[in-house]
Amino acid sequence: MHKVIFKKAAYDYETLKPILFEMIDSISGDCIKRQDRVLIKPNLLLPAKPEKAILTHPLVVRVVAEYIQSKGGYVQISDSPATGSFEKILKEGGYKKTLKDIGVEFKEFQASVKVDIGEPFGSIDIAKDAVEADVVINLAKLKTHSQMLLTLGVKNMFGCIVGLKKPEWHFRSGVDREIFAKLLVQIYNTIKPSITIIDGILAMEGQGPGKSGIPRYLGILVGSNNAPAADMAICSMLGMEPDNLLTVKEAKKTGLVGNKIHISGDFYMVNDFLLPAQTSLMFGPKVFHKFMRKHLLQRPLADNHICQLCGECWQYCPTKSITKQEKGIGFDYDRCIRCYCCIEVCPHGALSSAEPLPGRIFSLFR
Ligand code: SF4
Ligand code: SF4
């Protein structure tokens, strides 16, 4: 049975260091050998300050880097951001300042290698540095996600898909969240991080995972050698049926995690965590799916008073469904596959999602 550890914590170096050192020791500290190249994969989605709760906190990254160094390992910190320059993320997120004196390498994922992740996807491009590292440590953030409900340990490894290959995969998965969950689980299982730690000290609720989400203090770190188990435990913490998180459901199907996990430490229940509103998956004959997508599924919406016409959303949109208009932006809801990437990458928090009127009426009778 997979073990998951919960530890109360705060963003204070003196408090954090013994907690994280003990947590890693009990998860799998001996996986790091002298001179191992250890890749830390935090959530570095876009340029944001730590108080926005979008990125893995720099102090968590620092302490984990120090742990690796204490074992004689070489530390590389990498991700492939959805938007904004890697340098800007390191600066605005406080990583350069917080880790400046401990000699780690920051490197944006750039080169990819083809790796067979299994059917139905076959060989796909994954960041070379993630595939070739001796050990990978997955440092995720506890956040909501408009498309997948939550972004936790398994989903964090999607950052190992480099640059514009990410929206391409959204496009290929289309509106089917189950297919996308399958892809996420297979990427996770290919990279197989030895340790997953989820930063839920300052978490995010509402319309995450970008600037439309709301920071929520939970004061917790969650660790395991098995990300699906950690994700399952967090669902229980938030009062959610774990199978409602499709990555957990898929990980169970593929045997990566069982129905039972062993939880220890400071587990507690959060009763009022605000999840993003979601219409259930498409159902019924395929011939009706286009209609359902248009009229029942949450659609992205812009607040054109906040929109700065920066162009991030229309450049990232995998289906090119967003156009610049005289005052703000417009959506082509026939083309839009409801991946909500635009909400994720908007640097100004101008986008959210809402159910169309027919969908709201339909929800009353579900
Ligand atoms: S909605 Fe956001 S990302 Fe899109 S143009 Fe406006 S400010 Fe930029
Ligand atoms: S408009 Fe937004 S939700 Fe629709 S396909 Fe483009 S990025 Fe995805």
258 vs 175, higher pLDDT: 258
Q: What is the pLDDT of residue 365?
A: 57
Q: What is the pLDDT of residue 275?
A: 95
- pLDDT at residue 99 greater than cutoff 60: yes
Q: Are strands 123-127 and 112-116 parallel, antiparallel or unpaired?
A: antiparallel
Distance 47 CA to ligand 1 centre (A): 15
Q: What is the pLDDT of residue 173?
A: 82
- pLDDT at residue 358 greater than cutoff 70: no
**With contact defined as beta carbons under 8 Å apart, do 29 and 5 qualify?**
no
- pLDDT at residue 223 greater than cutoff 60: yes
Q: Give the pLDDT band (50/70/90) at residue 232.
A: very high
Mean pLDDT (the chain, rounded): 93
Strand partners of residue 200:
220
Q: What is the pLDDT of residue 288?
A: 61
Domain boundaries of the chain, sorted by first residue = 3-265, 286-364
This prediction's pTM:
0.91
Ligand nearest to the CA of 303: 1
- pLDDT at residue 21 greater than cutoff 80: yes
Pocket of ligand 2 (CB under 6 A): 300, 317-319, 321-322, 331, 336-342
* Closest listed residue to residue 234, CA positions, set 195, 196, 209, 198: 198
* Closest listed residue to residue 151, CA positions, set 293, 11, 341: 341
- pLDDT at residue 280 greater than cutoff 60: no
What is the tens place of the pLDDT at every residue in 317-328?
A: 999 999 999 889
Distance 282 CA to ligand 1 centre (A): 28
CA–CA–CA angle 290, 343, 163 (5° rounding): 95
Least confident of 74-78, 159-163, 350-354: 350-354
What is the tens place of the pLDDT at every residue in 117-175?
A: 999 999 999 999 999 999 999 999 999 998 899 999 999 999 999 998 999 998 888 77
Percent of the chain with pLDDT over 70: 92
DSSP structural state of residue 297? S
- pLDDT at residue 347 greater than cutoff 60: yes
Q: What is the pLDDT of residue 356?
A: 78
Ligand nearest to the CA of 171: 2
What is the residue-wise DSSP string for 37-95? Answer: EEEEEE---SS--GGG--S--HHHHHHHHHHHHHTTPEEEE----SSS-HHHHHHHTTH
What residue type is assigned to position 18 of the chain?
P
Mean pLDDT of 309-336: 95
Instruction: Give the list of residues 6+ apart from residue 276 with CB closer than 8 angstroms, or none.
Output: 144, 145, 146, 149, 206, 207, 208, 353
Strand partners of residue 141:
199
Q: What is the pLDDT of residue 235?
A: 98
Percent of the chain with pLDDT over 90: 84
Residue minimizing CA distance to atom 6 of ligand 2 = 317
Per-residue CA distances from 293 to 67, 289, 335, 342, 357 (Å)? 47, 6, 10, 17, 13
- pLDDT at residue 359 greater than cutoff 70: no
Q: What is the pLDDT of residue 172?
A: 85
Residue minimizing CA distance to atom 5 of ligand 1 = 309
Mean pLDDT of 337-345: 92
Mean pLDDT of 309-322: 96
Mean pLDDT of 61-67: 98
Q: Give the pLDDT band (50/70/90) at residue 316.
A: very high
Q: Which CATH number fits domain 3-265: 3.10.20.30, 3.40.50.11440, 3.40.50.10800, 3.30.70.2750?
A: 3.40.50.11440
Distance 347 CA to ligand 1 centre (A): 7
Sort 8 into a burial class: Cβ within 10 Å, 0-12 / 13-18 / 19+. Answer: middle
- pLDDT at residue 281 greater than cutoff 50: no
Q: What is the pLDDT of residue 284?
A: 58
- pLDDT at residue 357 greater than cutoff 80: no
252 vs 286, higher pLDDT: 252
Q: In CATH, what number does 286-364 get?
A: 3.30.70.20
Q: Which of 299, 322, 329 to mutate to test the pocket of ligand 1 (most atoms within 8 A of CB)?
A: 329
Q: What is the pLDDT of residue 155?
A: 98
- pLDDT at residue 366 greater than cutoff 80: no
Burial 210-236 (b: 16+ CB within 10 A, else e): bbbbebbebebbbbbbbbbbbbbbbbe
Mean pLDDT of 274-288: 65
Q: Give the pLDDT band (50/70/90) at residue 283.
A: low
Residue minimizing CA distance to atom 4 of ligand 1 = 313
User: Which alpha helices (H) appear in the chain, and where do they start and end?
Assistant: 13-28, 58-70, 86-92, 95-98, 128-132, 153-156, 165-173, 177-191, 227-237, 246-253, 289-295, 312-316, 341-345, 357-364
